[in-house]
Amino acid sequence: MKVTELLNLPGITAFSTLRDTDSPHLPYSGFSTCTYTGDDPAHCKACRNELAHYLGISADNIVFPRQTHSLNVAVVIDPAAPLQDTDALVTDRSGIALGIHTADCVPVVLADPKAGIIGAAHSGWRGAAGNIAALTVQKMQSLGANPADIHAAMGPCICQECFEVGEEVAARFERFGAVIRTPGKPHVDLPKAVATSLVEAGVPQQNIAMPCGCSRCDFQRFFSARRLGVQSGRTLTLIILR
């Protein structure tokens, strides 16, 4: 299992997984823990067990919500509780890993190391337009976090050059200053929209790390729905409070 680290904070581990495959054009080839996008369940289970071993925790303590591009944020107390229709998670419990699956959408990990509160959010274009990152900050605040102390990092996602959209979608991102119009369809900068949303929620700009790569450009390392199809594996972005 190979990862790219996202946050360098005491007591917190956060990373995105790499595909680690010799067959990048095969849609499920590589490390993938997502069970609802058509991958072989046995493959996903093996990857989840490998992840648990890497983290040194039980696989039962890794939380994977059933993401639906909603704006729903859940507080995780019991890792065994089912989380349907949920696209962001927060917790103040150590030893519980929060996992988000993406294949071009923006994964965001958040941590207030002073308060001991972490969060993770799945921000596709619907989530970004609906400020799911800011909603996650608000939910962290309900547990005692201070936005001024929150650090955030985005995992691999689609870059603006690759993210061509229609006018109806582009219109929802004008307020973020995240739209470029060139000949052809407009292009949206999802990470910029997420970063703007976080700043508006009180997270200092200097505490926000932008994506570590483009999933579509670098599909050899990260899963990309636009390259491989919606029915493909998913990159995992995870955070855990030690």
Residue 98 CA to residue 40 CA, distance in Å, equals: 22
Tokens, residue 3: 């990862």
pLDDT in tens, 120-169: 999 999 999 999 999 999 999 999 999 999 999 999 999 999 999 999 99
The CATH number that applies at residue 158 is 3.60.140.10
pLDDT in tens, 189-216: 999 999 999 999 999 999 999 999 999 9
**DSSP-assigned states of every residue in 134-153:** HHHHHHHHHTT--GGG-EEE
Domain extent at residue 80: 3-241
Domain count along the chain: 1
Quote the mean pLDDT of the chain.
97
The position carrying tokens 């991958």 is: 39
Residue 90 CA to residue 164 CA, distance in Å, equals: 31
- Side chain identity, residue 32: S
For range 2-12, the mean pLDDT: 97
Tokens, residue 118: 């972490």
Residue 155 CA to residue 101 CA, distance in Å, equals: 10
pLDDT in tens, 40-79: 999 999 999 999 999 999 999 999 999 999 999 999 999 9
Instruction: Please check the confidence at residue 171 and state whether its pLDDT lies above 90.
Output: yes
User: Would you say the C-alpha torsion 212, 215, 220, 223 has a positive or negative sign?
Assistant: positive
Residue 111 CA to residue 12 CA, distance in Å, equals: 8
Residue 234 CA to residue 102 CA, distance in Å, equals: 5
Neighbouring residues of 161: CB distance < 8 A, sequence distance ≥ 6? 187, 214, 217
- Side chain identity, residue 160: Q
Alpha helix locations (H) across 56-109?
none
Neighbouring residues of 74: CB distance < 8 A, sequence distance ≥ 6? 65, 83, 86, 88, 89, 90
Pairing of strands 151-154, 208-209: parallel
Tell which residue, 123, 115, 192, has the closest CA to residue 150: 115
Neighbouring residues of 40: CB distance < 8 A, sequence distance ≥ 6? 28
Cβ pair 125, 182 in contact under 8 A: no
Tokens, residue 48: 């989840």
